[in-house]
Each structure stands twice: as structure tokens, then as C-alpha cells.
Structure 1
């Protein structure tokens, strides 16, 4: 930005708009946009008048129109200026004259740093273009006269809108297809860590498209138009704040810009900003889908079909039957929801409005039959989510379950979670419904999916808070004490299986016994096992994969054996080394083998072997998911590394050569890692909260034959090499290791023994281990 803006410069206009408008954009950005548009109008008019007076031939006709976002007076600070210069010139010298006027208008704008969307056309040319180009046609729908010949401007806008009306059916279909395409490509504004405020599903363009469709005859309820405008203004305010915070154009609200955008826009913090965006985006997406869905004509009007005494299926929607009374029978709201999910249709708007007006909050014990209806709804799986969203949009779900309110549209600002808290819980319950054949109590499984993260909307540890909430909610639902206790245990332990599976040694008796003691019964284990999968799938792609699924399944199988009365020693057989690795060790030579995403290295046992292999993998840009180590009495060692396969594959021959050199102590791993770090492109932030300082924790009792050390730190080039090198330098033998990356942090667990094969118990030795690892991690 220029430090001393010149009159007529873009920066001068931005400063003037900011001075004319409050910095509080939280309640909407329309006022700022209009202020900037008015200032810009005056500037562009003066340029137009100067260009026409100097270069336009006598008796020529020119008109300048603002189109697109400029036409709607929706100018964010760094928006494009979309201008249409219409002319009517006759004679052989038309082209030079038009070019002279256009150049005199465009160049001052370019020189001021404005990005232009510009066109120069006759009325006939413009009308020809809009018959075949949706973008040009929609841009003209909101065209605004700026300067010049008013009759010429009226002619192009009037004929343009007539052309739109003539092709309304074609344009409606094209607009609907665009909405679907944006939903597939840009995702939902409400659920993206970094939402596209303009093109995301539930974004600004969805509202604009619906308004264009409305001009073509799409019926939209007046109250929907009001609500769309309110939500639109929220997103517009966020977009203005984003431009002002970054000083550049853009519609994607990056994580690193969210704090500054919130500050500039008047939000309390970035969490408030993202919560407002999520709520607005959800409402826009719902209203857009609702109104487009209602635009589909019903060819044959079918007679009402009774679903229950108070619910009917009428013209493809669930409605309250004549005489149904939600005040007398509060369960009608859930009956309607179950019917909509089972018939894969919407609840009618008149019914939703009536339920909104008549259903009071359920503060005490639920009405008889209501809990069964909730379970039935959740068992409908993903068909229930659209219905739950409709109930939530009319503020009904939180009336039934007041404890739900703090979770509504609450963002989880990290790349690990793809949904807001409430949507995550609905997704988890829907996933759980697909796994009910694995458990004895399907009802508790789907309720556990719905409630396992209920505490996230409240201050404090979400697990502890969630347990207390479920203790309150369970009796309200009329659940017996034993069922409430099971649900509380599901909340308490919902992370137990995945955490143990990826951070502990499943061949250790202590691991299996501790999980068995925590759960206490096969019934709870089966519920937790299914909930783990449902929860992980609802979290995001990085939370579940074949390697994690295999580990969780293996852990569950071993714990089930013990809970069923089996001996723990019978299930703690080693997963590594397998038969093929034992054969390689018996040969007594260095060997390297790769199968898919697993690399196995066998070599004579010596201090630092594990660290050297980890260093070479890091040099080749390979991220390690899990690692195992083993040594035998014949002096041979084996290590196994499961890696994330790069999209461009692995240069195995080169990697194998470097591994051999490293094991022969012929590769300068340290200096090479330093060189790679200098050229390494830093990872972008993937979580809102700043990571905690590195931590080193000893977990006594977590293993029957090793000392367990857990390390948490920010990931960096060669961190596994550095940590394991520090462990080796202190005379420790790594028996087993797991490496787990969550966003920008790693959680590494090492099972170690002294060189004499003993546990690490000396306090001084432990402090030195902690000192060395912290140094390596920082």
C-alpha cells in the first residue's frame, strides 16, 4: 500500500470507505461495500466523462454500466471492477474511436492498481453473448447505470432481462447444475477449515444464484429471502474483513488469516468469526437446497398416505395430519423426523414452522416413546442428517435436548476434523448405525455416537464434561442406571482404543490387561470398538486408514480374548518380526526389503541403527506412521517402518543405496538433514491453537518388560532421527516405537531398556533422558 495515497488512487478510496464505515463488520459488510461503491462510482464517472469529452466523435453514443459485484454495489476492498462500455457508432472510423475512449477509461484504473473485468460492445453484440453465456447473462441482471447515454443503458438492460426471461428454463437448469458443481468442488462453507466464502456450498454465490433463479420464476418464501439476506451479509462482512486484514484480494479464509480477520472485522476472536461463518453457511446451504428442491414439480399429485395417527406423506413431504396437536403430543416432532428419514424426503415447511411455533423446550424427563423415536431416527443413518439439519434450522433439536445448544455450529479449527461439533456428532451416529450388527445394544451405540463429544461445547476437558452431561441426559431419556453407566463409559473411553492401538505395544501383556480392566466387559468393548470406527470416519480422512483399522481390530481381538476369560499370554504373540524377517536375521547379513508402505531393515545389532534408518527415510521425505524394532541373542537387529506413500512414489533403488551407506557409517546424515531443512518448505498451519512446548512423559506400568517414554513435539525435518539418536546415546535399546502425526504435532512412543536389558528406574538417568530428548525435539 502507498504510504501517502494520491487523490483518485485506489488506496485513497479504501481509506475513505473505512472512515465512512464502522470497523465493526461482524453484523454485516453491506454498508462498507455500498460506501466503497459510491466512492468508486464517482471516480469511474469522472474518468468516463474525461474520456468521452476528449475522444468520442460528435453524435456518438456511449453508456457505462457497472455489472457483476460492482453492479450489486458489493465492493470488497480488493474486488474486481466489472464494467461494460456500450456504444453506438456508425461509419468506417468506429473502431479507432471506441478504442480511444476505452483506453482513456481503462488505463487510469489499471495504473491505480485496480483489477478490471471489462468489455466494450454494442447492444446487439451484448445481447448475442448473453443468449449463450450464463455468466454474462447473470452479470447483466444486476447491471447498474453509471454514466453516459441513459437511453442506451436502458436498452441494453431491458433487452437483456427480456432475453433472460425468454430462456428462464434453460438458465434455471444451468444455475442448479452450478450449485451442485460448487458443492462438489469447493465443499461446504460451514465445515471447511479454510472456507471459500464465495464459491463454497452455502457461500455468497449460492445466494446470488438463488436470487437470479428467483427472477426467473423460482418460488422463494419471503421469510427465506430475509434470512438469506441476513446470512449473506455475515459472509460479506467476513470477506471485507479478510481483504482489509490481508491487503489483497481473496475469498478463501486461510487459517493463518483468521485471527487478523476477526480483529479487523470486530469479532471477539477467530473462534467467534468461524462460528458465525459456520452458522451462516449452514443456513444458506439449507435454504438453497430447500428452495431448489421445491422447484422440482410433482408430475402426479398423489393422495395423502398416513404414516401414523398424526403424520402424513403429502406430495412428497412429511406433514402433520389434520387434527394433529404438537402441544398435546410433543413426540410428533420426532415422529415427523423419523418419517422424513425413512421416506428420504423433507419435512414440509408449514409443519416445520408449526413445530417451531408450538414445541416448547423439554426441560424434564422426555415424553413416553420419545427416546425410542430418537433412536429410530439415528438408526436411519445418513438419511437422518438432512432431517436433523432441518430441525436445527428451526431451533427444534436444542429444544428437545437443551444440553446440545453450546455445540451448535461450533467450529473445530484443525485439519483433523472436517465438521463442526454438532455435525460431527450426527455423522458419528450415522456411521454407527451401519455397524449395529457388531453389538448387542444398537440403541446405546447410536446414542454413544450422538453424545461422545457432547462436552466440546463447554469449557474444560471435553471428556470429563461430557461424562457429567451424559449423567444428566441419560435419566431425562428414561434410561436405566446400567445403560447410563455404559454411555458414560463410552464417553470416558471413546479415545481409548485408537490411542492405545497407535501408541502402545500390542504384544505387551500390560497393554492388553490395562484396556481389559478399563472396559470390564465384552459388551462395552464391542460398543467402543464400533464407536471408534464411527467416530474416526466422522472426524476426517487423516483419522482413519487401513493401518489404524488393522491395529484397532488387533487390539480389540486381544482384549476380547482376555475379557472372555482367556489367558493374556495366549494373545501377546509378536507381530514383528514375522517368519520372513526371522529368516533374514538368521542369514546374519544386512538386508533391506519393501512391500507397499512397509520398509524392513535387517542388520547386525549396534547402537544407533534405528536412528540411522529413520534419518535416511527423512532425507528422502518419507513420513513414518509406525515403527518396530527387535534384536536377538545372535547379535542381529530388525526394524520395520510403515510410511506414508508419496503421490509420486518412492525411488527405492536410491533409498536402498543410502540405507546401506548409513548402516556402514558412510553417509553424513546430520549435515544432509541440515541442508534439507534449509530448503524445506515449511508446512502451513493446520490447527488454530498453538502447539504446546515439547513434552517427555514416562508411563510407569504401561509395559511389563520395558520403560515407556512418550514424546510430544512439533514435527520437523529429521525429528524421529534426532530423538532416537538421543535415546541411543544414553545407552538405551529401543524395543518398540510408534510414531503418530496429528496436524503439525507428533506423538511418539518408545519402549526402551538399558543395555543390560533392564527397566530405566534411576531418577538421574531419567532426567538426563528427558533433557536429551527435549533438546533433540527443539
Structure 2
């Protein structure tokens, strides 16, 4: 039956004919989606127009207008009919009679009706008082009667909307936020409301309203298709239930999936989640742009008055190489070359998350369009930037979603595609698989002070459920995937094995603690055999807690936490042995000896700065991450305050310390029996290029003789470019490692990396009057994991009380 045939039958048969034609249309094979919604709207238009014509007769100055969803032509099988009877006020009694002739046939057919009778002035006044009414009128569509009356109202209402946008759009944003708080996020709910939940049809309509204001616009790519998918799902839901419902209940999902020709309910939910994710992300971008425009409108007049006219230039503050902050977003620097810098997507994402800023839509799209793929294995910087991103706490979520919206995550981690938007049909889980993995990383970022390898903790958090995209035991599949991903992103074989072990056994601790007898030595021994080492146990304990906290409120409790902690204590006792002594330093290289002799003869520092190829050579400590940047070797006669002087000079020159070693070097017997300090550090430029070695040496000489005010220079730099933090990092943790060395006291520092961090630590150690015998510093993502072997002035380990006091002083210094 054609659309014309349906219309004619409805016209000929009245309400019953319309009902029959409507039923045939809904049951018609092969017609669904937008074509059926358009046909249903057309059928309803013609029927209502016929009722209007029959009732209006010679009545003038009256029109029938569809508003809201019906005005947009989005009629689902059980949708309300939103109608406005518009009149000029000259014949109120006749208009009231006409309204009865329109509304009662609709009610008689059992159709839901939202109706009103108003003059243009009344409609405009109602819109001014009621935001929802104003939104409905933005989609007003003429059905019958006086076309000029409808057109005039549309023009007036739209003009009011644009004129009042600075007031109306914040109201609309608050309305959307309140609804999201009440209904939840569609993309994560097992029984989502397709209309009211965040990312649903209401939000898609709100984005249309924002676009109509001409103040801002939503990113269009994929938005229309996402809206269509949700409307299609609602159509099928209405047909399955026979009710005007928007909630996709569990018991109806299989039938709805079948009605849409989908494989199963999980496929349906993935499509719904993907659509909701597109709408949610578009909303985030759009509302951010609205806020930016409104702020600029209020600030620019004042700036222009102050500057004497002209357009003010947006301030840009550096965040990382190729990344700057502008108007509350992280954007690419003008000099950035994503076509030549494959690490830039991860660097930009990490910088944005660390600063608590959104990554601009333009930046993400440019990166997605032109950035080169990373080589395999990844360069060390790429891996470090991924770790920094994962360790940035709550801001990681929004930045990750921005990358995912443009396909960058699946490009970086192809295995991610299998878990993206994958539902978890478990009442304990409150997130999809992919969001659960990111939430686990967020939780793990709060526990990084508890482990010696925060990079392995964060990456294992990201990968622990990656096997859920494959058949079988997800832990077994995940172990294989994790080992492959670890090698691809550049971890060495030893670290890859640890990551694979963490993924394979991420449920081991909680299942054993809650289901086995911990008094049985065989139970504890089995866990110890599976874990292997104390450091892996430490990581697994933190991962277990992060995983449970990210699952939902029912997955973790103080009781479970205490059981797991008891098991970890027992397993740790089995794995414990004699603590490691201070690492035996490698024999100095020929160049290091040459620098040392020159430093001794001249009585002043000597340094060499050279590029370090990747990957690192075999002299790297087993299990250590490969270094970044360039190698800086400094030889200086043993004297006080060397550590803060070197660290301070590097901070002044904006050099980031990736790894650092300091040790005492005895000169050959044929030279002298004096001692020098040998520093072997790897550094990278925070922005731009490296300074010349001669400049570093000159400033180091000044720092050692006290003529360079390092603290003042760092304060000036921080004042010029204040470093913002959008996320409060876990507090620093400073401990005394028991029995870690027979020759020195080992102070372990775990804290957030920051410019001048080593300078502050060095100054605190100097004020405490202790001597640094050696140190071993690693920067893993944004986390600093440092060990300082300190002694008294006579070279003995510190007394226990002095060591504990020093740890407290260092911790207080870093908290300040």
C-alpha cells in the first residue's frame, strides 16, 4: 500500500479508517526506521488536517501546529501527539468548539495527546515562562489552517530564542544536568531510558536547540545516525510492549533486538551505548563551547575598553611540547607537527589530563586525521605518556572519551575494539567493560604510592579485563593479550611477564581470601607460587582493590579488604627473604673516568651531554623501564649541596629528570686518593630543545658557589607559567626501607613528579645534615619513585629515630 493509498483510506473512513491504516503501516513488512516514522507522521498529518478542515469551515485566523517530537516528524508507534491550536483571539467560542472536534477523536482512539489552545501572544508568553514549552515551539510545524499565523509564530519564537540565548542556554544546561543526575548515563545502564537518560533523545533535542540559538553548534559527525539508532530502538520497544515506554527493560531486550534484525540483546545494547556515547560526547563539547562563548561575550567588551578597541588575543600557556592551554582547553601549539610527531596524541592527552583540562575537539580531530601511527614497539616517551594519562585520576575519563570518539584509542590499542561499549550483565558491575577498565585505572592512580612500579599497576588496571572481548575465561585470554600489548607498547620481557601475571591472576587474591582457609599453609603457598615475587604481590594487592572499587559499591567492603590484606601478609611472609643490599655500582666507563680526573685536576664540575639511543643498552638494571631523553654525566669534587645544585640547575633550564644516579667514585691510586661524586642522569627538555652543555656547566658552577639563586629563579618561572593541577594527586609517601642496606639508611620517596622536585628533596636532605651516599631515581609517568642511601657525616647508617624523623621531615616538605 502506498502512502497515497493510506492517506486516502484514512480520509474516507474517518477515525476508524485512520486507525486501520495506522495499524497496517506499523505491521507492514520491510518498512521501519525513518521511512516508517515519516509515513506515520504523514498519515497523522492528513487525518488531523481533515478533522481541522471539517471543523473550521469558515473560521479564519486559526491554525493547527505540531510541536515537539511530532513537530520533528519523529512519531514512534506509541508517541504522544503534541498539538497547538493557534488562533488570533477573534472567535474564542468557535475555537473552543473546534478544539473539541480535534481532541476527542484522538482520545477516542486511545492516543496520548499533549494539547494547548493559545493566541500567538499567549504562546510567546508561555515560552518565555516555561523552557520546555519554548523548546517544543522551536520544532513547530504547520499542519492546517492559517499558514501565515504559524509562520509568524515560528519566526517570533525563534527570534526570542536567539535573543535570549545567554539566559536560556544556561537554564537548558542545568536542566540537562539535573535530568542526567536523576536518570543516569544511558551508555552504562542495563535498563536504560532511551529518552531521559544522559546521552538519550532528550539530549539530542537539546543539541538541536543550541544549534538554533546560533551561539554554538554540536559536532555533527555521527550525531544524526546516533539519534536514528535510538529512535529505531524506541520504535521496536513500542511494538514489542504495546506501550508508550522509553525504558529498555531486560526482559524485552531479546525481542527488541529481534525486531531490529540484530543478533542478540548484547548487540542491541552495544549499538544503543555507542549512540548514547556519541550524543554525550557531542553534548560535552557543545556545552563547553557555549560556556566559552558566553564568557568571551562578557569579558571582551571590558578588554576592548581597556585596550582601546580591537579584538583581544586569546592567552596561550604551554602545557607540554606541542600542547598549550587556550580558553580553558588543551589545544595544539601553532608549531605542533602531528604528521611528524607520532607521540603527540598521547602527549597532548596526558598534558590535558594532568592539567584537568578537556582536549579540544579541533585538536583531537586534527590528531586523528594526520598523526602518524606509532612504531612497534612504541618509543619510550609514548609509553611514559600513556602511563601519565592513566595516572591522572578523574580527568583521565573525559580525555580518554575524547580520544575514543575520534577512533584514536582503537588505533593505539587495537584490542580495545572488542571491549568498547561491551555490556556486563551482572548487577555488581555498574559500567561497561571499557569504562570499567578506565575506572580501574582511575582508582589505581590513588594507590600508586603503595607500589614500587606504578607504571605496571596502571597498565595492568587498563588491561585486566581486556579478555572479556573473547570467548572462554577472560583471565586466560587476557593474559595472552596483555603480554602482546606489553611488548607492543615497549615494555621489556620481564615487565611483560609481570603484566601478564597480574592480568591472569587479578581475581586470585579476593577469591582466595573469601573462599579458602587462610590457616591452611597449602592455600598460602599456592598463591605465593602463582604470584612469584614480593613486588608482584604488592602490585596485585593494589590492582585487586582498584578493580573492586571500580566495579561498584557491592564489590568491596572493609571486611573483604581485611581478608585480602591478611592473605597478602601471609603470602608476603612466605616470599620474604633477606632484604637486598645497596646495588653494586658498575665500574666507571672510560669517559666517566676521564671526566672524574678532569674534575679533580680543575677542582670544578665537568659534564658531558649526549643523545642516548633507544632502546637502552644492556647496562640498564633488569626490569627497569627504558630511559628517555639524553644522558647527562657530571663529575664534581665531593662537597656539600651537590644534589640540590644539580637538580636546581636542571629545573631552571626546564629539563625533566627521567632517571638519575649519584654515587661516590674513588679516583685511581696513581691520581690521588680523593673522592668525587659521579652523577649519571637522563633528562629531557620540557619544551623546545636542550640547552648547551657550556651553559649548564656555568650555571652549575654558580649554584655551587652560591651566586645563583635557584629558589628565586624557580619561583619567578612558576609565577610566569603557573602549573595548574586539575586532579589532586595522592599524598607523598616517604618511608625507611627496613634492612635494605648494611652500609646506609635507605629512604624511599614516592610522590607526584613536579618541576624542581629533586631540588626540594636535595635541600631537605642538606638541611638535615645527612650525606647522600648514592641515589636511584625513576620517573614513571607522572610518578617519582626514588631511593636515597644516606649516612651520617661519619659514613654510618642513621639511628632508627633519626631515620624516622628524616622521613617525616621529607614527607612534610613534599606536602607543603
Same fold by TM-score, threshold 0.5 exceeded?
Answer: yes
CA distance in 2, matches of 1:230, 1:71: 19
1:331-370 → structure 2 map (5 Å cutoff): 331-362=343-374, 364-370=376-382
Deviation readout 1:27-48 (Å, 9 max, x if unpaired)? xx33321111111111212222
Residue 323 of structure 1 deviates from its aligned partner by 3.4
Does residue 42 (structure 1) correspond to residue 46 (structure 2)? The answer is yes
Does residue 18 (structure 1) correspond to residue 29 (structure 2)? The answer is no
CA distance in 2, matches of 1:21, 1:324: 54
State the match for 1:245 in structure 2. Answer: 240
State the match for 1:199 in structure 2. Answer: 196
Residue 449 of structure 1 deviates from its aligned partner by 0.1
What runs of 5+ residues in structure 2 fail to find an aligned partner?
1-9, 304-312, 579-816
Residue 380 of structure 1 deviates from its aligned partner by 0.8
Residue 432 of structure 1 deviates from its aligned partner by 0.4
Deviation readout 1:699-734 (Å, 9 max, x if unpaired)? xxxxxxxxxxxxxxxxxxxxxxxxxxxxxxxxxxxx
1:15-414 → structure 2 map (5 Å cutoff): 15-18=23-26, 22=30, 29-53=33-57, 59-90=59-90, 94-95=92-93, 97-220=94-217, 224-297=219-292, 298=296, 299=299, 301-362=313-374, 364-414=376-426
1:350-499 → structure 2 map (5 Å cutoff): 350-362=362-374, 364-499=376-511
2:285–2:361 CA contact under 8 A, matched in 1: no
Q: How many residues align?
A: 549
Residue 192 of structure 1 deviates from its aligned partner by 1.0
Deviation readout 1:179-235 (Å, 9 max, x if unpaired)? 2112211111111111111111111111111111111122226xx224211211111
CA distance in 1, matches of 2:19, 2:523: 64
Go from structure 1 to structure 2 and tell me whether the alpha carbon gap of 1:159 and 1:484 turns closer, same or farther (over 3 Å shift): same
Residue 558 of structure 1 deviates from its aligned partner by 3.1
2:356–2:395 CA contact under 8 A, matched in 1: yes
Deviation readout 1:656-698 (Å, 9 max, x if unpaired)? xxxxxxxxxxxxxxxxxxxxxxxxxxxxxxxxxxxxxxxxxxx
Residue 290 of structure 1 deviates from its aligned partner by 0.7
2:424–2:431 CA contact under 8 A, matched in 1: yes
1:21–1:35 CA contact under 8 A, matched in 2: no
1:526-565 → structure 2 map (5 Å cutoff): 526-564=538-576
SS in 1 for 2:217: coil
State the match for 1:623 in structure 2. Answer: none
Residue 249 of structure 1 deviates from its aligned partner by 1.0
Residue 116 of structure 1 deviates from its aligned partner by 0.6
Go from structure 1 to structure 2 and tell me whether the alpha carbon gap of 1:21 and 1:66 turns closer, same or farther (over 3 Å shift): farther
Residue 511 of structure 1 deviates from its aligned partner by 3.0
Please say which of residues 162-171 and 110-119 is displaced more in the overlay.
Answer: 162-171
CA distance in 1, matches of 2:14, 2:532: 76
Deviation readout 1:274-331 (Å, 9 max, x if unpaired)? 1111111111111110111022234475532233332222333223333332232211
Residue 415 of structure 1 deviates from its aligned partner by 2.1
1:398–1:404 CA contact under 8 A, matched in 2: yes
Residue 111 of structure 1 deviates from its aligned partner by 1.2
SS in 2 for 1:151: helix
Go from structure 1 to structure 2 and tell me whether the alpha carbon gap of 1:84 and 1:374 turns closer, same or farther (over 3 Å shift): same
Residue 50 of structure 1 deviates from its aligned partner by 2.7
SS in 2 for 1:176: helix
Go from structure 1 to structure 2 and tell me whether the alpha carbon gap of 1:308 and 1:102 turns closer, same or farther (over 3 Å shift): closer
Residue 441 of structure 1 deviates from its aligned partner by 1.2
Deviation readout 1:610-640 (Å, 9 max, x if unpaired)? xxxxxxxxxxxxxxxxxxxxxxxxxxxxxxx
TM-score normalised over the length of structure 1: 0.67
1:20–1:35 CA contact under 8 A, matched in 2: no
SS in 2 for 1:313: strand
Residue 451 of structure 1 deviates from its aligned partner by 0.6
The CA RMSD over aligned residues, in Å, is: 2.3
Please say which of residues 341-350 and 157-166 is displaced more in the overlay.
Answer: 157-166
Deviation readout 1:403-438 (Å, 9 max, x if unpaired)? 222222222233222222211111111110100111
CA distance in 1, matches of 2:338, 2:145: 61
Residue 21 of structure 1 deviates from its aligned partner by 7.0
